[in-house]
Amino acid sequence: MLEERASFGSKLGMILATAGGAVGLGNVWRFPYMAGQNGGAAFILIYIGCVLLLGIPCMVSEFIIGRHGASNTYRAYSKMSHGNAWKFVGLLGVLTGYLITGYYAVVSGWCLQYIYASVAGQLHGDPSFVKSYFQSFSTDPIRPIIWLVAILLITHFVIIHGVRGGIERASKLLMPTLFVLLLVIVVASCMLPGADKGIDFLFKPDFGKVDRGLFLGALGQSFYSLSIAMGCICTYASYYTRQTNLLQSAVQISVIDSLVAILAGLMIFPAAFSVGVNPDSGPSLIFITLPNVFNQAFASMPILGWVISLLFYALLSLAALTSLMSLHEVSTAFFYEELHITRDKGAVIVTVTTIIIGAFCSLSLGQFDGLRIGDKSLFDVFDFVTGQIFLPLGGFLTCLFLGWFVPKRLVKDEFTNWGTVSGRFFGVFLFLVRFVCPLAILSIFLHQFNVI
């Protein structure tokens, strides 16, 4: 029997839960790297502009669809489109979130392993040892899968306790803890000798690097950072009340997400430059470069270095967990509502199947050459298809759907909470969703394939 639709119990819980869904590993490594290599403060300023012009309008669009539909992402699009072909945009969002859950849990599990490694003192050694440690672990056929199962079971435990008792309660604990850990590491990093070079690297504008590629990079970062088009925002919005100010909520969530990203830069660059290390991107930054940075930066105070390393991987695990919660909920809501089963059974379907997907993705990074497609591992294929095809396509179609197909009166009623909040920005919002956002997303999509 279909369960009664839940809702968030407080505005704070709603904001923290949705922000937690947006804040993830990409905030910690991708944003600092993009900013550092693309003009520092110049990139940050352009990124903020992109959040305002692209991120927030797309987020509000998903809010409107999710709250109006008051159901899983597929059914919400189906309701607003009266069952025509636009409903498949919602199905694409569910599929995207589901596939991301599987391979994202692999990297999330790595974070748990590194908490254990930090506690056990296994990350101390020369740079070659730390590099070989990561390569040995990530290609192991057993250990990564154990941690993958562990973090998905933790996520499952949160999800089966529902929206208020699970997601909202966990977010109220995890998000403040994440901020505290982040601030502690930022302070420790910025107090290191020579840390000012890292701060300058991040915040000193270099407008000589501003070009078309930088603009498109900032557009892409704003789009991916806010978890647009993977069903999370739309699903969480289905638990919003009719009193929720959608524009205000989108602004608040975007501020939290951007603040975490900028603080992550302040956490990484001062420490890296203090020991003369130029940070790389991707897993190598999180699991190879930074352990060496912490070892060198706090060489005279090894206990402090041990604590900072432990706190850092705890921070990463919390960021990964809050994202996994939102991703898992997308598919859980879909299964239990569409199959007319209980939430618990829907969560079991998602947990078991994503463990299987994650296991195959993890094995593809090792010696299992049969789990490759062309020159890409199964893990890389999932990352490419979801991140570079499904997400831009979903965002593009959502803007067209809400901007041109959904009746303007319905969109305005949701935007203004049926006339109870100001609608002075509605005209700007509609213009951005109809014209600016689709063109910007299309530019990102074509640029990554070197079409423009």
According to the model, what pLDDT value does residue 40 have? 83
Mean pLDDT of 392-414: 96
Query: What are the tokens at 29?
Result: 């490594």
According to the model, what pLDDT value does residue 144 have? 97
pLDDT band with cut points at 50, 70 and 90 for residue 2: very low
User: CA dihedral in degrees (132, 137, 141, 144; nearest 10)?
Assistant: -160
The count of other CB atoms within 10 Å of the CB of residue 242 is 11
pTM for the full predicted model: 0.94
Mean pLDDT of 35-45: 84
Query: What's the CATH number of domain 11-448, 1.10.4160, 3.30.70, 1.20.1280, 3.40.50?
Result: 1.10.4160
Sorted by sequence, the CB contacts under 8 Å of residue 90 that are 6+ apart come out as 65, 72, 73, 74, 75, 76, 77, 78, 231, 234
Query: What are the tokens at 334?
Result: 């879909």
Say which range, 251-260, 278-287, 412-421, has the weakest mean pLDDT: 278-287
**Is the Cβ–Cβ distance between 332 and 346 less than 8 Å?**
yes
According to the model, what pLDDT value does residue 1 have? 40
Kindly tell me if the per-residue pLDDT of 94 is higher than 90: yes
**Is the Cβ–Cβ distance between 361 and 106 less than 8 Å?**
yes
Q: Which residue has the higher pLDDT, 126 or 199?
A: 199
Domain ranges in the chain? 11-448
Mean pLDDT of 282-295: 84
Condensed to tens digits (0 to 9), the pLDDT of residues 233-280 reads 999 999 999 999 999 999 999 999 999 999 999 998 898 888 887 776
Distance of alpha carbon 333 from alpha carbon 350, whole angstroms: 10
According to the model, what pLDDT value does residue 272 have? 86
Task: Name the percent of the chain lying above pLDDT 90.
Answer: 67
Nearest of 320, 377, 346, 391 to residue 96 by alpha carbon: 391
DSSP state letter for 201: H
Distance of alpha carbon 384 from alpha carbon 209, whole angstroms: 27
Helix axes 246-274, 25-37, angle to 10 degrees: 60
Distance of alpha carbon 75 from alpha carbon 288, whole angstroms: 43
**Is the Cβ–Cβ distance between 365 and 138 less than 8 Å?**
yes
pLDDT band with cut points at 50, 70 and 90 for residue 452: low
According to the model, what pLDDT value does residue 294 have? 87
Mean pLDDT of 64-69: 97
Question: Euclidean distance between the first and final Cα of the chain, in Å?
Answer: 51
Distance of alpha carbon 395 from alpha carbon 191, whole angstroms: 41
